[in-house]
Structure 1
Amino acid sequence: MEKAREILSDLDLFAGLNRDELELLEREARICSFQEHDKLAGADRPLEAVYVVLKGHVRVAICNDKEEEITLHYHGPGDMFGLAGLFAVSPMPFHFIAAESGEALLLPLRTVKQLLYKYPANLWAASRALAERLYQVYREFSNESSYGAKGVDQYPIRLKVGDIMSGDVATCRSETTAAEAAGIMGKRNIGSLVVLDGNGELVGIVTDKDLVTRIMATGLDPCVTTVGSLFTAGPITISHEAFYYEALLLMMNHRVSHLPVVDRTGLVGILTMKDLLDAKSHHALALTERIEHSDQIGDLCSLADRVEQLVDRMQSEGIRPSEICRIMADYDDRITRKIIRLVEKELAEEGFGPPPVPYCWVTMGSGGRKEQPRRTDQDNALIYRDPAADQKEAAERYFARLAEKTNDALHRFGFPYCPGGVMAKNPVWRKTISGWREEVADWIREPDGQGVRNLTIFLDFRPVYGTFELAHELRIRILYLTQNVPMFLHQLVLDDVQSPVHLGWFDRGEIEIKTRLSVHFINALRILSLKHGLPQVNSLERLRALTEHGVFTPEESSVYEEAYEELMRYRVGGIRKIDIGSLKKQERARLKRVFHITKDLQNLLIHSFRAEGLAL
């Protein structure tokens, strides 16, 4: 299989394998397609292959004691997963679930093992890759959880087990009957009992699940059967000094939901998954779970204020403005995806059926750049695959209805309609992929005032839901055109410098941050990125890519990043205008520095294009 050969040749994991060995892998490899929500492997499906994602995304998730899924990490095109199967001796606690439709290359685990165990260097590379992947997952889980993006926010992560455990431990003896144990649990509304021996020493734990699966399922008499024949001996314990995240990882890795807590003297408490969930019940993980499990748009909209409150909480905890923006973009994306799924369900119930062709919902403007910490006007569009001739009208009806219902639901949630109509329910912003290719080509080749404004908004698009390939295909087309039609970038520069950054504004009392500073800062990074063919959308990512590309020195990049964070600080704080006279001396000095830096960046843009003969 030629495609498999090409992929295998690019993987460092198989470097050094001889021709026969690579051909063996190639023969046994297969490409599989998956749909959104398909479970590829997991705790109830042993790892039997190493996977290389070709298209789409796969999420790594665990289940809590309520059997609810919590996403830890995402794998995208080019990522490999399943390496743990090379070393694992027990089932993995993770599930690998398709986040969207796509394809993966499957390499049978037995064959990979057979080959790698012949090559110590390759086996070492596999173990190192796995260690780095685990480190990345744990780091993301810790960092992003402390920021509230995909799990627990900063406060619970700082907690120790002793702060959240229950010190009132319910116990029993080995001779306690199952019926008596169930009675204790029911009376105290708990899910486990710690089993003690005659000296009061911890010897095991029995859970309500043990009682159900080992008594009810086997037909044993609970009035006769004792806990001694049911409990788990030598249970996993945790120190009262351990941190929240350590307890969470311990439960995840061992698939348990109850941990006896000990100190040097012995048993001091019990910690459950519920305790961990309660510790953040008013925090980001609970909110994330409520978003994911809302089954009505009205239920989802009831969470709007709680989402908005996250910004203030993160500000008070000193999280970097760029991180707050990224986190809130993640929430906005979750909300949008959930709304679209609910709308798809409604359309199916109305008789429209499933989407007639693949499509992609994109967000644009500040939302596309992940620089929108608070709810503002919608900027979104829809791209769908060209349908067959006899399906064109049906496809347009379906996507018109989907876009209208989605925009309306977003409005209900608190994202106002765009006054300029930059929304997917407007046919101008809802097209087939071929329609979009033609539209952006017209905007770029013959830029007029409206075309420049439209493309300035559209250039910062980012896929949120559906077939991301459509958005990536369009991005490649735009980068190609902007590289081959240089006058378009010149027009963008001219549009920006019509309102040059004047340091004199600083002495005029009141300043509008967005129009006087932020717009020019963002425009410069966007234009320079397009000029160098860089696909990044977020301004900070553009800055870093330009630095790697040699446009900025690391020192210059550090200065620009500092200014960017300052601009985002005003945005996060909801500050649109600033009265210079009301600023403290230090704040005034910081803002003046941002003016100078933004002016320097605009000058750099001007000089960069003057060197190409642009008259400015």
Structure 2
Amino acid sequence: MKTASIAYRVADFLRRHPPFQYLDESELLELVAGGRVLFHEDGELVFERGQKRRPYVYVIQQGVVRLVDYDESGAKEVLRDVRGEGDLLGVGRYLGIVEHTYTARTETEVILYALPAAPLWEQIKRHPRASHYLAAYFTVAIAPPGLEGDSIRSDELRLGRRPVDWMAKPVDEPPSAVTCGLETPVRDVAARLADQPPGAAAVVIDAEGTARGLISTRVLSDRVASGELPLDAPAVQLMAPVLDTLRVGLPAGAYLTRMLELQVEHLVLTNDGSRLGKVCSVLARRDLTRIEAAAPLAIVEDMARAGGIYELSRLLAQGQTFIAGGLTDAESLRWLAPMATALYAAVLRRVVVLVEGALLAEGHAIPDLKHCWVFFGSAGRGELTTLYDLDHGLIYDEPEPDQRRAARSYFLELGRRVSSALAACGFVSTAKGIVSGHPSACRSINEWEIGFSHWIHDPIESCVYRATSFFDLRPVHGDCTLVNRLQQHIHREKDHSMGFVPLLVADSMANLPPLTFFRGLVIDDNGRYTETLDLQRATLQPVVDLARALALDAGIDHPVGTLERLQALTPDDQDAVLLVNETIAAFRNALFYRTRAGLSRHCDGNLVEPSTLTRLEQNLLKSGFRTVLQLMEYMGKRYGATRRR
């Protein structure tokens, strides 16, 4: 690189590829001035595993380089990556690794630009986008110190235009709680609420100061002003139960999503988040609805009053538009995924009410049996963000022997009509979908228990790998005690079948992620090429299956979400903690790309063409592939399972 013309030509090449496209021209010329041009014939070594690194980072200007490792015997090569024009080699030095981890061998004639590593490092740290891109060469969650690892909300990552940054910020000074005792007369409660904003509520506390109930201005109006209760009635007769308490100082999104899940207008905040904690404040829906991103609260409320399927479908479309508008990056799914789950649950609840009303009008009386509507699969885990395969079913209490046929007939008809109504609202069920109109997803509690016992004790004969979605239960509408009973049954049966969890782990090893991307194609570890990436098979499904197995083994039945299951684990050592964090980041990243593809193309989003992904996005997904393989290796050692394709 002696002449100015060569220097400008090299700089012109570099600025077409990240991370160099984010650097200034003067910085590029400085790098080029300290670099070299290297030429390699086909089949030559660029560097070998274990060789001490030279003070350069290599950029492939032309040709193909394979990165290989060796198996445990050291005799057989294992392909680790394939890199081509614009890709980097030798960046592992920035993790402090002084020797090369893999062997780099040319597959064609190759021209490399060897750039001085130290100046490049300093330049990249000064540019957040360059820093973020280089960080993607390592893992989704962990990057060398000094690099910007946070996602950059840019046009190359954004589907929507309305970021939900406010959700990550704490609510400023939530209003102090208005409190009263269990025996406080209703007239005194009304007086204390008189000078509060519309929609306020008082917390009813016991002698120990524990929150026991809530009294809202709406309840005062409905039950006292109407004369149903006298003014001297004690507060305990008027209060509604406190369904949950949260800690003061949480992000606004945590309060919003909990309100959506519980369908409540008020949350009691305590100093430590527990029900026994000191009551600090009451957060009302109105405190959040002034924020633009709180629209789902209003949509869910409108859904609860929808008069028909057409109105529900219109509200569901509004909800999907909101989800798409807030989809800025993987982190936004932390809030958007539970919002989507709450919207879908609201649709199901209203559909059930409408269909039950129609059946009653036709003369079909509802059996006097406890029953509960549930989500399974991705909806049960709170990970469904498109309208494809809303897996749902029904659990009803065991009827008397002479009522079994009639009860089954009614609930199956109810399930069929609910499934049809959901389809009319816009949900799409594929051949693999679970719907309440099918006998396999509409059963009495005894039938469900028998089914789960069969899956657990005879997993091979019962083909449990086809039924694992049923293990992701989320109650949506009705009597939740049925779901609690079923979950307890599952864990009892699992404890009596010690081989069940290892078999689940072994089954999950069949979905190996691919190896890398190259020239718009997906490459597996055997060097085979495919034109599309299946995000579900490559990253999401293996993590879902392994997290489910770990949760069952640990006796965790709540939460049901994959990320929450991973976060609820207690890893054995620091390496396992790091692996869990990387897995969470890889999973959320893959879910983001699936959601983006699904919402923009009106499909389930599982299949993505690599050519439509930026270089940064490909590197982030590749990091996720490596993380999934590491998780499989960890699980394989723990449960004696072997990876297989």
Structure 2 partner of 1:584: 614
Per-residue deviation, 1:596: 0.6
Per-residue deviation, 1:538: 0.5
1:375 pairs with 383, 387, 401, which one? 387
* Contact kept? 1:445, 1:485, Cα under 8 Å: yes
Structure 2 partner of 1:360: 372
Q: Does 1:492 align with 2:514?
A: no
Q: Does 1:560 align with 2:583?
A: yes
Q: TM-score, normalised by structure 1?
A: 0.56
Q: Compared with structure 1, are the counterparts of its residues 348 and 549 closer, same or farther at alpha carbon in structure 2 (3 Å cutoff)?
A: farther
Structure 1 partner of 2:110: none
* Contact kept? 1:361, 1:382, Cα under 8 Å: yes
1:524 pairs with 518, 541, 546, which one? 546
CA distance in 2, matches of 1:351, 1:513: 47
* Contact kept? 1:376, 1:416, Cα under 8 Å: yes
Deviates more, 1:311-320 or 1:351-360: 311-320
2:561 pairs with 524, 538, 542, which one? 538
Unaligned runs of 5+ in 1: 1-42, 51-61, 74-79, 98-107, 112-129, 153-247, 254-275
Q: Does 1:609 align with 2:639?
A: yes
Structure 2 partner of 1:303: 315
Letter in 2 for 1:341: V
Q: Does 1:344 align with 2:367?
A: no
Per-residue deviation, 1:151: 12
CA distance in 2, matches of 1:348, 1:250: 36
Letter in 1 for 2:345: D
Give 3-state SS (helix, strand or coil) of 1:360's partner.
strand
CA distance in 1, matches of 2:606, 2:626: 19
The 5 A counterparts of 1:99-118 are none
Structure 1 partner of 2:629: 599
* Contact kept? 1:403, 1:424, Cα under 8 Å: yes
Letter in 1 for 2:593: Y
Structure 2 partner of 1:27: none
CA distance in 1, matches of 2:294, 2:482: 38
1:452 pairs with 446, 464, 470, which one? 464
* Contact kept? 1:493, 1:605, Cα under 8 Å: yes
CA distance in 2, matches of 1:583, 1:523: 26
Structure 2 partner of 1:15: none
Letter in 1 for 2:639: F
Give 3-state SS (helix, strand or coil) of 1:362's partner.
strand
Q: Compared with structure 1, are the counterparts of its residues 601 and 400 closer, same or farther at alpha carbon in structure 2 (3 Å cutoff)?
A: same
CA distance in 1, matches of 2:351, 2:575: 41
CA distance in 2, matches of 1:140, 1:333: 23
Once the two structures are superposed, residues 172-229 of structure 1 have per-residue CA deviations (whole angstroms, 9 ceiling, x without a partner) of xxxxxxxxxxxxxxxxxxxxxxxxxxxxxxxxxxxxxxxxxxxxxxxxxxxxxxxxxx
* Contact kept? 1:150, 1:284, Cα under 8 Å: no
Q: Does 1:432 align with 2:432?
A: no
The 5 A counterparts of 1:388-537 are 388-420=400-432, 422-448=434-460, 451-503=463-515, 506-507=522-523, 508=529, 510-535=532-557, 536-537=559-560
Kindly tell me the number of residue pairs found equivalent between the two proteins: 404
* Contact kept? 2:533, 2:610, Cα under 8 Å: yes
* Contact kept? 1:380, 1:423, Cα under 8 Å: yes
CA distance in 1, matches of 2:583, 2:329: 24
CA distance in 1, matches of 2:634, 2:305: 49
Deviates more, 1:508-517 or 1:376-385: 508-517
Letter in 1 for 2:426: G
CA distance in 2, matches of 1:465, 1:308: 22
* Contact kept? 2:512, 2:644, Cα under 8 Å: no
The 5 A counterparts of 1:228-377 are 283-316=295-328, 320-377=332-389
Q: Compared with structure 1, are the counterparts of its residues 589 and 282 closer, same or farther at alpha carbon in structure 2 (3 Å cutoff)?
A: closer
Q: Compared with structure 1, are the counterparts of its residues 311 and 148 closer, same or farther at alpha carbon in structure 2 (3 Å cutoff)?
A: farther
Give 3-state SS (helix, strand or coil) of 1:474's partner.
helix
The 5 A counterparts of 1:153-164 are none
CA distance in 2, matches of 1:281, 1:320: 12
Per-residue deviation, 1:551: 9.8
Q: Compared with structure 1, are the counterparts of its residues 380 and 551 closer, same or farther at alpha carbon in structure 2 (3 Å cutoff)?
A: farther
* Contact kept? 1:529, 1:546, Cα under 8 Å: yes
* Contact kept? 2:296, 2:339, Cα under 8 Å: no
Per-residue deviation, 1:570: 1.2
The 5 A counterparts of 1:105-184 are 133=245, 136=248, 139=250, 143-145=254-256, 149=260
Per-residue deviation, 1:349: 2.0
CA distance in 1, matches of 2:336, 2:303: 19
CA distance in 2, matches of 1:335, 1:286: 13
Q: Compared with structure 1, are the counterparts of its residues 344 and 140 closer, same or farther at alpha carbon in structure 2 (3 Å cutoff)?
A: farther
Q: Compared with structure 1, are the counterparts of its residues 285 and 363 closer, same or farther at alpha carbon in structure 2 (3 Å cutoff)?
A: closer
Structure 2 partner of 1:570: 593
* Contact kept? 2:510, 2:643, Cα under 8 Å: no
Once the two structures are superposed, residues 501-547 of structure 1 have per-residue CA deviations (whole angstroms, 9 ceiling, x without a partner) of 34267534532111122111111111121122221320011101113
Q: Compared with structure 1, are the counterparts of its residues 151 and 396 closer, same or farther at alpha carbon in structure 2 (3 Å cutoff)?
A: closer
* Contact kept? 1:528, 1:605, Cα under 8 Å: no
CA distance in 1, matches of 2:285, 2:368: 43
Give 3-state SS (helix, strand or coil) of 1:416's partner.
coil
* Contact kept? 1:144, 1:151, Cα under 8 Å: no
Letter in 2 for 1:517: T
Per-residue deviation, 1:471: 0.9
Q: How much identity, in percent, do the aligned residues show? A: 23
Give 3-state SS (helix, strand or coil) of 2:405's partner.
helix
Once the two structures are superposed, residues 261-302 of structure 1 have per-residue CA deviations (whole angstroms, 9 ceiling, x without a partner) of xxxxxxxxxxxxxxx979869933332221121132332123
* Contact kept? 1:437, 1:474, Cα under 8 Å: yes
Q: Compared with structure 1, are the counterparts of its residues 580 and 147 closer, same or farther at alpha carbon in structure 2 (3 Å cutoff)?
A: farther
Give 3-state SS (helix, strand or coil) of 2:467's partner.
helix
Q: Compared with structure 1, are the counterparts of its residues 450 and 277 closer, same or farther at alpha carbon in structure 2 (3 Å cutoff)?
A: same
Per-residue deviation, 1:456: 0.8
Structure 2 partner of 1:48: 182
Once the two structures are superposed, residues 30-64 of structure 1 have per-residue CA deviations (whole angstroms, 9 ceiling, x without a partner) of xxxxxxxxxxxxx9x986369xxxxxxxxxxx99x
Letter in 2 for 1:398: Y
Per-residue deviation, 1:474: 0.8
Q: Compared with structure 1, are the counterparts of its residues 345 and 48 closer, same or farther at alpha carbon in structure 2 (3 Å cutoff)?
A: farther
* Contact kept? 2:296, 2:343, Cα under 8 Å: no
CA distance in 2, matches of 1:471, 1:151: 16
CA distance in 2, matches of 1:587, 1:615: 26
Once the two structures are superposed, residues 543-587 of structure 1 have per-residue CA deviations (whole angstroms, 9 ceiling, x without a partner) of 011137879744333222211221121122124334445543332
Structure 2 partner of 1:232: none
Letter in 2 for 1:571: R
Once the two structures are superposed, residues 219-277 of structure 1 have per-residue CA deviations (whole angstroms, 9 ceiling, x without a partner) of xxxxxxxxxxxxxxxxxxxxxxxxxxxxx979979xxxxxxxxxxxxxxxxxxxxxx97
* Contact kept? 2:372, 2:476, Cα under 8 Å: yes
* Contact kept? 2:371, 2:397, Cα under 8 Å: yes
Per-residue deviation, 1:348: 2.2
* Contact kept? 2:374, 2:473, Cα under 8 Å: yes
Deviates more, 1:339-348 or 1:327-336: 339-348
CA distance in 1, matches of 2:370, 2:480: 10
Give 3-state SS (helix, strand or coil) of 2:463's partner.
helix
Q: Compared with structure 1, are the counterparts of its residues 476 and 564 closer, same or farther at alpha carbon in structure 2 (3 Å cutoff)?
A: same
Structure 2 partner of 1:218: none
